[in-house]
Structure formats: C-alpha cells, structure tokens
Amino acid sequence: MPLRNLQDQCFRDELYHLYDQKGRIVDGKLHLKLQWIHSRVKYLESVIKKWEKTMASISKDKQDFELSLNTLNSLFPNLAFGGLERSTHTSHQSYF
C-alpha cells in the first residue's frame, strides 16, 4: 500500500490476495489493518470536523421532526402527540 493512500490518516481494513513469483494467485490472503497518524493535530481536527458535521445533521433532523410534529399538533390538536395526556377535562359515563 502506497503511503499516499494513508495521507488522510483514516483507519484502513483491507484484504489482499497473495501472488507467487509468476504473478499467480496463491492460497491465502493478507488482512491488513492500518492507520498512520503523522500529525496528531490534523487528525484530531479532522475528527472534530466529522463530529461537527454529524451533530449539525442530527440537529437539522431534530428541527425538521419538531416542525412536522408542530404541524401535526396544529392540524389534529386532540389526537396529536401529548394532546390526550394534556387534556384536563375527562368525562365519565355511567352505564347504570
């Protein structure tokens, strides 16, 4: 594996075939797990960026879900999420 493939400092988990001197595949494979961290600062900055993107995406999803929930609550106030639990009026019907 060329070192340029490791510039992004990401973890690699790859499987390689083994070849004989004539270039024929032989029995067996090489399972390579590798990570080269050549700059701890750059690596940690990239980790932070990935988590920030993940958190932004989750936050956006949450906002979208809340907007959808508010829309449903306005369209169906008696059936919407929490609508029945919040009701202070309860009716009891007697069958006798």
If residue 26 lies in a helix (H) or strand (E), which one and from where to where? strand 25-34
What is the reported pLDDT for 75? 87
Instruction: Return mean pLDDT, the chain.
Output: 85
Residue reference for tokens 């990570």: 35
SS (H, E, C) 60-94: HHHHHHHHHHHHHHHHCCCCCCCHHHHCCCCCCCC
Specify the pTM: 0.56
pLDDT at 73 exceeding the cut of 80: yes
Cα distance between residue 50 and residue 53, in whole Å = 5
In this model, does residue 63 exceed pLDDT 70? Answer: yes
Residue 96 scores a pLDDT above 50: no
- Tell me the percentage of the chain whose pLDDT exceeds 70: 82
Q: Which two tokens stand for residue 11?
A: 């973890």
Of the CA atoms within 13 Å of residue 84, those in its CB half-sphere come to 4
